[in-house]
A and B are shown apart, each in its own frame.
Chain A
Amino acid sequence: MANSEIAPSAAPPVARLIEAFHRLPGIGPKSAQRLTYHLIRMPQDEAEEFAAAILGVKERVVLCETCANIAEAAECVICGDLQRDNSRICVVEEPLDVVAVERARVYSGKYHVLHGVISPVNGIGPNDLKLRELLERLRDGKVKEVIVATNPNLEGEATAMYIQQLIGPLGVSVTRLARGLPSGSDIEYADDSTLAHALESRSEIPSPQTDASS
């Protein structure tokens, strides 16, 4: 049904599309109208491609049975890659975090997506996360390290602590991504916990390689 409040004078199909865009996160009524009228002006073949892409996502995308990442089959591309290191699992909050870590091109292990973090005030507890599946993956003893890459905020830290207490006693090494000052920032504006973490994780400045003897 067209939403008359958002687009009272628009034709019903247009109003319906505006309403559909408006339901997306971060899209206000003005943006919804702008996107709709952009689509109206779009060539027919591009619009069909766009619609097919949306349908394709809904019809073909599932959660990987191993790591709970977005996949096109029961096993995602990363879990199916035999070249990757099976002894390390990087635990992330959301599928988009896998994309972010992959972008760094330094990690060759596997992933596990929790689909959230522990958030008591929002009623999200450990049972709402994919922690049971993570424990299942540790059964065969092949995994030597679990890297907890939840966001560096209080809920992410609490989830990391919970995971450490859950699987630490199993003999699996549990590590956390380093925290500190972001590149390009001013110390003056850093908050106390970021500065404290940066100080705790300080490292020695490597000596310059002197080639004077050569």
Chain B
Amino acid sequence: MTSKRRPVTYTTDGVVVRTSNLGEADRIITLVTPIHGVVRGVAKAARKPGSKLGGHLDLLKHVSVSIRETRTLHGLSQAATVNGFRGLRNDLDKFSRASYVSEMAERFSVENGANQPLFRLLIAVLASLETTDNPEMAIHFFEMRLLQLSGFAPELSKCVETGVVLEPANHLYSADRGGLVNNESRPVGESALLPAGLNTIKLLRFLSKTDIQQAGVMKPSEGENRQLSRILRAQIHHVLDRGLRSEAFMDEVRSRPSHNSEAIAPDNSVSIE
């Protein structure tokens, strides 16, 4: 019987989510792809100015690339940009958010694990971040949909402690148990419960059912946004067993007042008269 094997060389779409230097002029590229999951490969001489690959295989680019499989790092060639997401490349805030999204996509993907819905979600959210004036909701939409696609959809209609259908009211959220907890049946000794106001719960339910365009229409208050962030992040941290590296930079860029050099100066920085 002949075993079914993937071809040794294939062409795939992918989004570049990580790069690192190798040797004198090569670059290791990590891609999230729809059919082959996370793919790591070497782009030979990609750091040289005349390279045909280097410009295409930059971070956060949607590319089409030819991959030659080997036992260790694959070889990458014939790259072409499908979408360079230029809008993410000249705005620090958008760059920081797109980095967070791409890191999550990488962490929720596995090698040789086809995940076309995740890839389509990644492309859609990066495209949305390019143009939206409501990036917070684009991020929340991505977080929620990623949890759903990975089988960790939060329970938003019943209490995860008692199983009782929740009344419209303020409740709590438990990342450990993966859903809402009735305010009145707070488990004894449970310390990691997060507040979930009524509007926040409505927003979570809305995010779990809507598409990215509709999500961008919603304008939650600052407090609701904060609750959404804490709940969705806590759930993602629980699933991944740790936080994401890009969170700190995204939070820093988001929190700083623009055009204020003292406010964005690195820690322990000197003041400039």
Q: Bits for B83-104, please: 1 = Cβ < 8 Å to A, else 0.
A: 0101001111001100110110
By the criterion CB–CB under 8 Å, are B261 and A169 in contact?
A: yes
Q: What residues of B have a CB within 8 angstroms of the CB of A35 in the complex?
A: none
Q: What residues of B have a CB within 8 angstroms of the CB of A193 in the complex?
A: 55, 58, 81, 84, 86, 89
By the criterion CB–CB under 8 Å, are B58 and A122 in contact?
A: no
Task: In the A-B complex, list the 10 residue pairs whose CB atoms are closest, starting with the nearest.
Answer: A191-B55, A120-B246, A123-B245, A120-B99, A26-B23, A182-B49, A120-B249, A154-B59, A189-B52, A127-B266
Q: What residues of B have a CB within 8 angstroms of the CB of A168 in the complex?
A: 259, 261
Which residues, 235 to 273 on B, are CB-close (under 8 Å) to A? 245-246, 248-250, 252, 258-261, 264-270, 272-273
Which of B23, B92, B248, B261 interacts with A170 by CB under 8 Å?
B261
By the criterion CB–CB under 8 Å, are A123 and B59 in contact?
A: no
Query: Chain A at the B interface: mostly helix, strand, loop or mixed?
Result: helix
* A91 → chain B closest CB, angstroms: 14
Number of interface residues of A (CB under 8 A): 41
By the criterion CB–CB under 8 Å, are B50 and A135 in contact?
A: no
Q: What residues of B have a CB within 8 angstroms of the CB of A153 in the complex?
A: 19, 58-59
* A120 → chain B closest CB, angstroms: 4
Asked if A136 meets B270 with Cβ closer than 8 Å, knowing A158-B95, A167-B261, A193-B55, the reply is: yes
By the criterion CB–CB under 8 Å, are A154 and B89 in contact?
A: yes
Asked if A131 meets B269 with Cβ closer than 8 Å, knowing A155-B59, A157-B90, the reply is: yes
Which of A118, A157, A190 interacts with B89 by CB under 8 Å?
A157
A83 to B207, CA, bound (A): 62
Number of interface residues of B (CB under 8 A): 48
* A205 → chain B closest CB, angstroms: 22
Asked if A191 meets B56 with Cβ closer than 8 Å, knowing A120-B100, A166-B261, the reply is: yes
By the criterion CB–CB under 8 Å, are A191 and B264 in contact?
A: no
Which residues, 41 to 73 on A, are CB-close (under 8 Å) to B? none
By the criterion CB–CB under 8 Å, are A132 and B265 in contact?
A: yes
Q: Judge if A40 is at the interface, Cβ distance under 8 Å.
A: no
User: Looking at B55, B60, B102, B246, which has the most chain A CB atoms within 10 Å of its CB?
Assistant: B55
* B125 → chain A closest CB, angstroms: 16
Q: Judge if B17 is at the interface, Cβ distance under 8 Å.
A: yes
Q: Judge if A184 is at the interface, Cβ distance under 8 Å.
A: yes
Q: What residues of A have a CB within 8 angstroms of the CB of B245 in the complex?
A: 120-123
By the criterion CB–CB under 8 Å, are B249 and A135 in contact?
A: no
Which of A126, A154, A169, A182 interacts with B58 by CB under 8 Å?
A154
Which of B81, B100, B106, B272 interacts with A191 by CB under 8 Å?
B81
By the criterion CB–CB under 8 Å, are A126 and B84 in contact?
A: no
Q: What residues of B have a CB within 8 angstroms of the CB of A121 in the complex?
A: 17-18, 59, 99, 102-103, 106, 245-246
Q: What residues of A have a CB within 8 angstroms of the CB of B106 in the complex?
A: 121
Q: Bits for A161-203, please: 1 = Cβ < 8 Å to B, else 0.
A: 1100111111000000000001111000111111010000000
